[in-house]
Structure 1
Amino acid sequence: MKKVMKWSLILIPVIVVAAAVFVVGGSYLEHRDAVAEEKEHYPAPGELVEVHDDGHTMHVYAEGEGEETVIFLAGFGTPSPVYDFQALTNELKDDYRTVIVERFGYGWSDVTDHDRDIRTVVDETRTALAQAGEEGPFVIAGHSMAGIEALHWSQTYPDEVTGMIGLDPLTPEYYEEKGESPSLSGAVTFLARSGLMRQQPEVFDENFDAMAKGLLSDDDAEVARTLFLRRVQTTNMGNEADKLTDNVATVLDAEIPDIPFYAAIASENQDGKPFIQSLAEETGGASEVFEGDHYIHLNQPETIADEIRIWISDME
């Protein structure tokens, strides 16, 4: 009896581990095959362009015509910038050229090992736009962390920027005083890479803000879900988080650009509000507080689009 118990204590953990490996391994293989099918079934709607001549491509999605071209840059960790900005660009594309550039590791853009320092990131975006035939000067509209990108772009290439628009943006002064670098969850990364997240559809429904707020059609939700499943906490996103402190320092080391900064501030962002308001005032721009959370462009796309029209008119 003692021998049976002894072997049971050894075999049960082995069986449990083997079963777990079997389940995870099977899930990973299914996930890999599903991703390949989804890429073929749902190709990028915009242009895929090379920026480093290494075979990796970035996605540039443009709509509309107009005298002004507005470049939309997503906040940290947004799996699908195209669908994240859709509600807002739908309101603006009849008046302006709207262009969404997906950084490496986001949306239909490839995952790469290129450095995520702010100079590289901004130059990749500029090169992608040039390769896609988009001509400046531009209005740069950045959500959250992309506010830092807009500032660096304006500091380094002021002739290319007509004005900046922050959508509840991160400002360097706020980060320096109160901010913390975003962190990635190892558990979430494991669920995403292993494909186990596919067994939990509510994760997408509840955590992709455009979906959670009921802004996607059934067809768009189907596509956005596939992007979410392969673009949650990518390597590029992790590297962006690691580089944020250095990137903020780069922006702080340069002079504030002589280009107006306008901002839509979420009412829930009480800590960041004074820093955003100060930056807008210092650059000759303006700011407005809107009721809602950090993804403010999804809370009030129509109202913010109206405000953006006023701001762009002020830039002229």
Structure 2
Amino acid sequence: MAEVNNHKINVFSKGEGNSTVVFTGGLNEPSSYADFYPLYNEISNYTRIVTYDRPGHGWSEVTDESRDIDSIVEEMHTALIESGEKSPYILVGHSYASLQMIRFAQLYKDEVSGLVLIDGGSPEYYEKNGLEIANSTVAKYKFLKSTGIARVAFYHTDFFSKKLKLLPDDLKQLYLGMSIKTMYNKNIIDEGNGAKANAKTVLENGHLGSLPIRILTAPSDPEWDGSQIALKEWSTDSKQIVVNGAGHAIHQYNPDVVNNEIKKLIEKYK
């Protein structure tokens, strides 16, 4: 645990190497430690890895600090330093974490050697569409959580058999427990409701030059597919890998495809 702004933030690390691969999940992701297991369990054989939970996610405490993108990124940077993790960083973000990773690279460009974005939306997409969380949605999930229906529903859907099939049993249980614990808390709600403003900040601060960006895409509707193409314009060294048949959590369905791209970036900067 790292202490940032008088709150504890969960930082898990493993392995050794010249680069540090940092994994963080999207909005409402219950635990990066569980979610990214199919990636870091392999990548830690090649270099240092870190899983990072933003405040309100996983074991990280809920914070009263603003959920604007610069606060989110500065917390992550401070937590990495406080934990003794050294650059250069290869940043791996899933879904909404694409904004966090791009902004980190804007603010700390000399510390970042590459981005791997796993079905992450472009800043243009989030500025247009946002991720606002309706009060009715929050009320519904609070009811499901308080009555125990949410826990039963997780067990009796194909959630475990499909999305989490590559996790050990203890991490499946952890993922479930954290899903219930963190479900739509105030930090998650504020992140979602701030998505448009956060995307605007990223857009106002420019593209990333020749920083390597690897974009893993699960085919979806035309607007989402367009957002993946838009991400390619954020660097002159970008590459899109379309993973046909994968769900949004590509790293849970096709981890080898993601790991191959991470390993190429590790080799590039050895």
Asked if these proteins are the same fold (TM beyond 0.5), I'd say yes
Equivalent residue number for residue 224 of structure 1: 175
2:35·2:175 contact (CA, 8 Å) conserved in 1? Answer: no
2:208·2:234 contact (CA, 8 Å) conserved in 1? Answer: no
Q: 1:133 to 1:209 in 2, by over 3 A?
A: farther
In structure 2, what residue type is equivalent to 1:50? E
In structure 2, what residue type is equivalent to 1:286? K
Secondary structure of the equivalent of 1:165?
Answer: strand
Deviations 1:64-90 (A, max 9, x none): 112211111111111112111111111
Equivalent residue number for residue 188 of structure 1: 141
Q: 1:162 to 1:134 in 2, by over 3 A?
A: same
The structural deviation recorded for 1:281 is 4.8
Equivalent residue number for residue 260 of structure 1: 212
Aligned-pair identity in percent equals: 31
Distance in 2 between the 1:132 and 1:208 partners?
Answer: 33
Distance in 1 between the 2:132 and 2:75 partners?
Answer: 22
Equivalent residue number for residue 235 of structure 1: 186
Runs of 4+ residues deviating >3 angstroms? 204-213, 311-316
The structural deviation recorded for 1:280 is 2.4
Distance in 2 between the 1:281 and 1:158 partners?
Answer: 17
Is 2:90 aligned against 1:136?
Answer: no
Is 2:228 aligned against 1:280?
Answer: no
Secondary structure of the equivalent of 2:64?
Answer: coil
Equivalent residue in structure 2 for 1:309, among 259, 263, 266: 263
Matches within 5 A, 1:175-214: 175-177=126-128, 179-183=129-133, 185=137, 186-192=139-145, 194=146, 196-197=147-148, 200-203=151-154, 206=157, 212-214=163-165
Structure having the larger proportion of residues in helix: 1
The structural deviation recorded for 1:287 is 1.2
1:143·1:168 contact (CA, 8 Å) conserved in 2? Answer: yes
Secondary structure of the equivalent of 2:114?
Answer: strand
Secondary structure of the equivalent of 2:10?
Answer: strand
1:116·1:236 contact (CA, 8 Å) conserved in 2? Answer: yes
1:81·1:100 contact (CA, 8 Å) conserved in 2? Answer: yes
Matches within 5 A, 1:69-218: 69-177=20-128, 179-183=129-133, 185=137, 186-192=139-145, 194=146, 196-197=147-148, 200-203=151-154, 206=157, 212-218=163-169
Looking at both structures, which has the greater relative contact order when contacts are Cα pairs under 8 Å and sequence separation is at least 6? 2
Distance in 2 between the 1:274 and 1:281 partners?
Answer: 11
1:60·1:99 contact (CA, 8 Å) conserved in 2? Answer: yes
Structure 2 runs not aligned, ≥5 long:
none
The structural deviation recorded for 1:190 is 3.1
Aligned pair count reads 264
Equivalent residue number for residue 253 of structure 2: 299
1:209·1:295 contact (CA, 8 Å) conserved in 2? Answer: no
Structure 1 runs not aligned, ≥5 long:
1-47
Secondary structure of the equivalent of 1:61?
Answer: strand
The structural deviation recorded for 1:206 is 3.9
The structural deviation recorded for 1:205 is 6.1
The structural deviation recorded for 1:278 is 3.8
Q: 1:210 to 1:82 in 2, by over 3 A?
A: farther
Secondary structure of the equivalent of 1:288?
Answer: strand
Secondary structure of the equivalent of 1:272?
Answer: helix
Secondary structure of the equivalent of 1:271?
Answer: helix
- Greater shift, 299-308 or 95-104, is seen at 299-308
Equivalent residue number for residue 42 of structure 1: none
